[in-house]
Amino acid sequence: MIQKFLNSQTKSISSASLILAVSYLLSAFLGLIRDRLLAGTFGAGTELDVYYTAFTVPDFIALILIFGAISSAVIPIFSSYLIKSKDEAWKYVSLLLNVFLGFLIIVCGILMIFTPAIISAMAPGFSGEKRELAITLMRIMFLSPIILGASNMISGILQVFHRFVVTAIAPLLYNLGIIIGILFFVPKFGLAGLAWGVVLGGVLHLLIQLPAFIFSGFKYKASFNYKDPGVSKTIKLMVPRSLGLGAGQLNTIATTAIASTLMAGSIAVFNLANNLSSILVNAVAVSVSTASFPSMAMAFLNDEKDEFLRKFSSIFRQIIFLVVPLSLLILILRAQIVRVVLGAGKFNWADTKLTTACLGILALNLIAQALILFLSKTFYAAHNTKIPAIISGATVVFNIILSLFLVWLVRFSPGFNIFLQNLLRLGGVANIGVIALALAYSITAVLEGALLLYMFYKKFPKLHVKEISDSLYKILIASLIMVILTFATRQLLGSVVSLQTFWGIFFQLIISGSVGVATYAVTTHLLKSPESKTIVDSFLKKFLYPAK
């Protein structure tokens, strides 16, 4: 029964999106537990600064060397092989795994040796014991890209066979591994236990997918030929994509480097706020774009341009339909979210105020972040990896310059500093430099999203603009009504429940959020929003009234 469940196939984009969305929501829930445990155990201070810093470069390596290959090359190339011959397709996968894993092992081994120099370059504000601890954690975490490299490549292949159930479970186990690290490894090994938890999460991510991968037809062959035409084409397609992803990840590295020179805890505050802001949005954007990517790639491969643009319009509208209200709800209820999720243990009031302010700023860029993810994958489906890479590279330079300028402005312009403190209710907080980083990050995301959308329209001028604008008009009306009623509910509850207790804040968050979601759902239904109807028809009816 378990084998049948893990090997089950999902044929429609809607069903696949639902499975992935549920998985990401569950993973998000585990992520919230993870962050609450981290905040409560360590607070926004030196330990979490070290942990998040140590995470950046291993994550960077996995992103540019593996995720880029999967998104831009592996799925389309494997699909094209599969049309011709299953044997050739599996031969390609075996070769690719051998080449990429061999390369990853060499790269990560070299980086382990040069970790001290890496920490000095990317965290210039670290010294003494803080620096040594960061070196230890990063060396352990360099095991993670090797494991996740194999696992995520397997995920991409399984998605071609529509085995979305098992690929949806894998991220849950990854977060579970980190939670095990916090609860059981940290008491025994200290902060290094967090790094070993990350490695354990990667192992669990891989092991859950191996049976379905083998069941799909994979047979390992000990061949190593980096000059194979399929491998060469993969490298050729993935290089621009990897450069684009690398440029985007450099935003995180640059933010970490600048934050390391600010008050202790600035890196932790930014990362915790960024996790809270993106956790639900990623559940929507990642699930929908991941589920749609194989079919969009196939439509483009078969030269079905009208079908390609029809799918784009439908998915684009679904994303903005779900992400716009989510981002506005996060903005309105940011203080309640931070206090409920992170307000425990060593996470003090100053940490809460700074994280709340960062969350409010980052909530403003969520629609841009979601569209960046989807538009980039759409370009990859159309075998165009250069445009996202160029735009991502340009915007990372812009982000670094803007971050440095805004940090300088906060430090040396009393007027700007006081303006931010009053606007974001940060009175009494000693150092608000991290706010400048969040502001620069949001402005950069909006710019990148706008540029990608413009370039996509230039490349595909037959885009269904009127269809999209009609949907957007209804979404904005429903969102405005939702904002008014959610805010009114929040204020009313604030006057009748105690906001000094966890349950009072929790009650205010849940009731206000529920009113917002219900208002939006009812309003879009009354406005006859096509996305609302799609969700009802594709998801709810399927599960409430299954075919007999």
Q: Residue 191 domain-assigned?
A: yes
The answer, as to whether pTM is greater than 0.95, is no
SS3 call for 231: helix
Give the per-residue pLDDT at 170.
Answer: 87
- More confidently predicted of 91 and 401: 401
Residue 182, pLDDT above cutoff 60? yes
Q: How sure is the predictor about 460, in pLDDT bands with cuts at 50, 70 and 90?
A: confident
Q: Which pair of structure tokens corresponds to residue 232?
A: 């060469």
pLDDT digits over 132-143, tens only?
A: 999 999 999 999
Residue 202, pLDDT above cutoff 50? yes
pLDDT digits over 287-320, tens only?
A: 676 666 667 777 777 777 788 888 888 888 888 9
How much is the average pLDDT of 448-468? 88
Q: d(Cα 287, Cα 342) in Å, to the nearest integer?
A: 26
Give the per-residue pLDDT at 334.
Answer: 94
SS3 call for 334: helix
- Compute CA distances 503 → 500, 508, 511, whole Å: 9, 8, 12
Give the per-residue pLDDT at 485.
Answer: 97
Give the per-residue pLDDT at 14.
Answer: 54
Assign 3-state DSSP to the chain and report helix, strand, coil percentages, each to 5.
Answer: 85, 0, 15
* Radius of gyration, CA atoms only, the chain: 23
- Compute CA distances 339 → 36, 333, 353, 463, whole Å: 10, 10, 9, 43
Q: Which pair of structure tokens corresponds to residue 57?
A: 């470069």
Beta carbons within 10 angstroms of residue 128's beta carbon: 7
Give the per-residue pLDDT at 330.
Answer: 94
Give the per-residue pLDDT at 20.
Answer: 66
Unique residue bearing structure tokens 């890479």:
389
How much is the average pLDDT of 203-210? 92
224: nearest Cα among 96, 106, 104, 108: 96
How much is the average pLDDT of 448-469? 88
Q: Residue 294 domain-assigned?
A: yes
Q: Residue 291 domain-assigned?
A: yes
pLDDT digits over 333-386, tens only?
A: 999 999 999 987 788 888 899 999 999 999 999 999 888 888 888 887 777 778
Mean pLDDT of the chain: 84
Among the ranges 206-220, 283-297, 470-484, which has the highest mean pLDDT value? Answer: 470-484
Q: d(Cα 248, Cα 60) in Å, to the nearest integer?
A: 9
Q: d(Cα 135, Cα 53) in Å, to the nearest integer?
A: 10
Q: Residue 122 domain-assigned?
A: yes
Give the per-residue pLDDT at 149.
Answer: 84
Q: How many domains does the chain have?
A: 1
Q: How sure is the predictor about 504, in pLDDT bands with cuts at 50, 70 and 90?
A: very high
Q: Which pair of structure tokens corresponds to residue 193?
A: 């236990």
Give the per-residue pLDDT at 545.
Answer: 46
Among the ranges 67-71, 145-149, 223-227, 483-487, which has the highest mean pLDDT value? Answer: 483-487
Least confident of 96-100, 288-292, 450-454, 514-518: 288-292
388: nearest Cα among 255, 242, 278: 242
Give me the phi and psi of 461, to 5 degrees please: -65, -15
Q: How sure is the predictor about 547, in pLDDT bands with cuts at 50, 70 and 90?
A: very low
Unique residue bearing structure tokens 């601890």:
133
48: nearest Cα among 204, 182, 143: 182
**CB-CB contact of 329 with 316 (8 Å):** no
Give residues with Cβ within 8 angstroms of 25, minimum separation 6: 280, 283
Give the per-residue pLDDT at 544.
Answer: 46
Report the share of the chain in percent with pLDDT over 90: 36
The contacts found for 354-357 with CB under 8 angstroms, 24 or more apart, are 354/44, 354/265, 354/269, 354/426, 354/429, 354/432, 354/434, 354/435, 355/44, 355/269, 355/272, 355/273, 355/276, 356/273, 356/424, 357/424, 357/425, 357/426, 357/432, 357/435, 357/438
Give the per-residue pLDDT at 83.
Answer: 82
- Enter the DSSP assignment of 228: S
- Compute CA distances 293 → 119, 213, 320, 335, 380, whole Å: 36, 19, 17, 36, 9
pLDDT digits over 266-279, tens only?
A: 999 999 999 888 87
Give the per-residue pLDDT at 139.
Answer: 96
Q: Which domain holds residue 144?
A: 12-463
Unique residue bearing structure tokens 């208002």:
519
Instruction: Please provide the DSSP assignment of 38-102 as one string.
Output: HHHHH-SSHHHHHHHHHHHHHHHHHIIIIIHHIIIIIHHHHHHHHHH-HHHHHHHHHHHHHHHHH
Q: d(Cα 129, Cα 191) in Å, to the nearest integer?
A: 12
CA–CA–CA angle 52, 53, 57 (5° rounding)? 110
Q: Residue 423 domain-assigned?
A: yes
Q: d(Cα 47, Cα 133) in Å, to the nearest integer?
A: 9
Unique residue bearing structure tokens 């990897």:
242
Q: d(Cα 479, Cα 484) in Å, to the nearest integer?
A: 9
Q: How sure is the predictor about 548, in pLDDT bands with cuts at 50, 70 and 90?
A: very low
Residue 259, pLDDT above cutoff 50? yes
Report the share of the chain in percent with pLDDT over 70: 88
- Characterize 366-392 residue by residue with b for buried, 16 or more Cβ atoms within 10 angstroms of its Cβ, and e for exposed: bbbbbbbbbbbbbbbbbebbebbbbbb
Per the rule left: phi > 0, alpha: psi between -120 and 50, beta: everything else, 198 is: alpha
- Enter the DSSP assignment of 219: -
Q: Which pair of structure tokens corresponds to residue 26?
A: 């569950």
Q: d(Cα 442, Cα 432) in Å, to the nearest integer?
A: 16
